[in-house]
Amino acid sequence: MRLREIKKEARIALGNKWGLAVLLTVILGIFTFVIPELLSVYASGGWSNYYLGDTYEGDVTSLIVGLILYPAVIGYNWVFLSLIRREPQSVKSMFRPFAVIGTYLKLIGTTILIWLFTALWTVLLIVPGIIKGLAYSQTYYVLKDNPDLPILHAITESRRLMNGYKWKFFLLQLSFIGWIILAVITFGLGFLWLTPYMTASSAEFYNEIRQAKAGDGINE
């Protein structure tokens, strides 16, 4: 598995889908930043208190709203996995995690458990926390392919898939550092194109390790 080939496949899959990819990224930004921040300002009592930076209510509100809306991030990743597999995609596809209340609550529970497990390992030492974060990184993809799988089983399957591949996945993310710097220089506008590229590459990575370990894990 060569990182160059993974990124090449991601670019090929994006092909003529860049318009949709950028639109989805804008929507993602609204869900993950704009809405939580606006509600945080409201809970803080206005812009003046918000800018002082010492508003407990605003921070808590932002965290809770971010968690409630986090399935949008998961839906975003699912769209790019479908794109990699040449399956139909649309803006509506991004909101698939919200369509069924059971699925939505399951994804919220998964997110809480992943955050909790990662935080507990990070408390011990930073490096174990990073390693566990990498191990859990494929959980949402696993749940897309196996929606009936219990949360802990999905996390375990992610750990199995990442066994022997954590360093490779870390290097994949690290390989975008130059592009990230350029995106920052453009006052964040570059992320409208970089985020889809990184997400598609991560989806391609999952697809490849899933195929590499086919037959050794869960039955689908």
When pLDDT is cut at 50, 70 and 90, the band that residue 53 belongs to is low
- Closest by alpha carbon to 201, among 16, 14, 10, 11? 10
Average pLDDT, the chain: 91
Res 54: pLDDT? 58
- Residue 155 burial (CB < 10 Å; 0-12/13-18/19+)? buried
The whole domain housing 148 covers 3-217
When pLDDT is cut at 50, 70 and 90, the band that residue 43 belongs to is confident
- Closest by alpha carbon to 200, among 86, 117, 69? 86
For the chain, give the percent of residues with pLDDT over 90: 75
Rounded CA separation 212/161 (Å): 9
When pLDDT is cut at 50, 70 and 90, the band that residue 180 belongs to is very high
For the chain, give the percent of residues with pLDDT over 70: 92
Q: How many domains does the chain have?
A: 1
CA angle 153, 129, 66 (to 5 degrees): 75
| Confidence (pTM) | 0.91
Mean pLDDT calculated for residue range 17-39: 94
